[in-house]
Structure 1
């Protein structure tokens, strides 16, 4: 005879509810999947589909009343974990955008900006261009699948259970955020060196031939040299971006371990 009680209903709900919140939080924040151009219904549907596929493989969830304060705190924990894991990969793309900002500043295109719906602010054209290239490469290399795989592994490293998250895990996220400037400068370094050399040459030329207007000559030279270098350098950035994505996956695993206290 099959018996049914309220505890069994709680177990059924909890088996899908808490993993769903962690997955949805990552999908909302993560690059490519969390873009503002993607409707929220699509994000919720993707998170629900992933939850249905993943939930049967996870460890049993805590047997708690779904409407209790403990369950509410556990839900907030899952949302924070998902957001933190998504921010790890978002930092990778922030580094790419920072590289585009630096290149645009050196080329004299810092004034050319347009509205970015993802950030809600004006962004340099080259920054948007670099970001689009990074997202396309991310999808081509199945980065979104690797990112979801790291999220699924986080359920084994950091299972759903009552308790507090280790503060050292948040330190991992803060440490990784330093890659925004480091990786951004490394990405833009070839163009920075060449454009800085051109600017120094124009400065010397201005001192030797003062009748020559450097401001009227220097801008088109810097712009044409920068565009020429972009056509040469950008095809060579695939390995750099791929390594940066791999570091992001490793940091997601390290963040999950740090939050679990391992």
Structure 2
């Protein structure tokens, strides 16, 4: 008859639950993988599969602590925070792109063209959603989702499971990384914003020269057309900026996890 002691059961639970919590937190918060359109069962299955693959490489370095104790719960919380931090870094990249789209849409006169975004549980501008789709395709094209999975597997050797986890300096780094939303969002939207600014100045001069001109009948179609034209011409130049954002995010994750950084090709 097979028998197992409480100590052995706790060891088995700790061997699985701590790596699983870190991986599941990443899968739940990372872009693409954490999309609400993906069923919860698929996310859980992916996290379980990755945990089964990773566990044999980390079980020797796991602390011999009962997961049901206070210290065990602290370790569990640290693993959740580590996974969430990795997913948060890459989420910032997509938020920056969507902010650029919202700035462009507002200046084009499409500020009213919004719809519900299930991924962010809120409303989003149609141009922001469009650029977000482009960012997702670029992310998949450079295998960003596979890089995140590779990083989370390497993290168990460079940032082992213990009660220390990520430090205060890491949280400061994450807060500073949030400024990338405004920096990169403005950089991506600047060509269209510049063209629309020139268009509005021209319309203002035209209105002064011909007061009888119906500016509302002319201005809206003109700004919309010019905005779409400049956006279409600018999209090919977004690729290097999006690539830089993704690789900067991956390098930031590597810095958090103490992994040697990569160079952007």
The SS at the match of 2:124 is strand
Structure-1 separation of matches of 2:214 and 2:50 = 61
Conserved in 1, the CA contact under 8 Å of 2:94 and 2:135?
yes
In the TM superposition, what whole-angstrom CA distance separates every residue of 1:220-242 from its partner, at most 9, and x where no partner exists?
Answer: 01111111122211122111111
Within a 5 Å distance, the mapping from 1:64-75 to structure 2 comes to 64-75=65-76
The corresponding residue for 1:107 is 108
Structure-2 separation of matches of 1:216 and 1:130 = 28
The SS at the match of 2:61 is coil
Deviates more, 1:64-73 or 1:29-38: 64-73
Conserved in 2, the CA contact under 8 Å of 1:11 and 1:61?
no
Within a 5 Å distance, the mapping from 1:185-200 to structure 2 comes to 185-200=186-201
The corresponding residue for 1:7 is 7
The corresponding residue for 1:42 is 42
Within a 5 Å distance, the mapping from 1:118-157 to structure 2 comes to 118-157=119-158
In the TM superposition, what whole-angstrom CA distance separates every residue of 1:168-211 from its partner, at most 9, and x where no partner exists?
Answer: 11001000000001101101111111111111111111112222
Structure-2 separation of matches of 1:192 and 1:127 = 14
Structure 1 unaligned regions, length at least 5: none
The corresponding residue for 1:158 is 159
The corresponding residue for 1:85 is 86
Structure 2 unaligned regions, length at least 5: 260-265
Within a 5 Å distance, the mapping from 1:168-183 to structure 2 comes to 168-183=169-184
Structure-1 separation of matches of 2:207 and 2:155 = 59
The corresponding residue for 1:214 is 215
CA RMSD of aligned residues (A): 1.9
In the TM superposition, what whole-angstrom CA distance separates every residue of 1:79-106 from its partner, at most 9, and x where no partner exists?
Answer: 1111111100000000000000011011
Conserved in 2, the CA contact under 8 Å of 1:169 and 1:257?
no
What is the CA-CA distance between 1:144 and the residue it aligns to?
0.2
The corresponding residue for 1:27 is 27
Structure-2 separation of matches of 1:144 and 1:166 = 25
The corresponding residue for 1:239 is 240
Change (3 A) 1:125 1:207: same
How many pairs were matched up? 257
Structure-2 separation of matches of 1:238 and 1:227 = 18
Conserved in 1, the CA contact under 8 Å of 2:82 and 2:166?
no
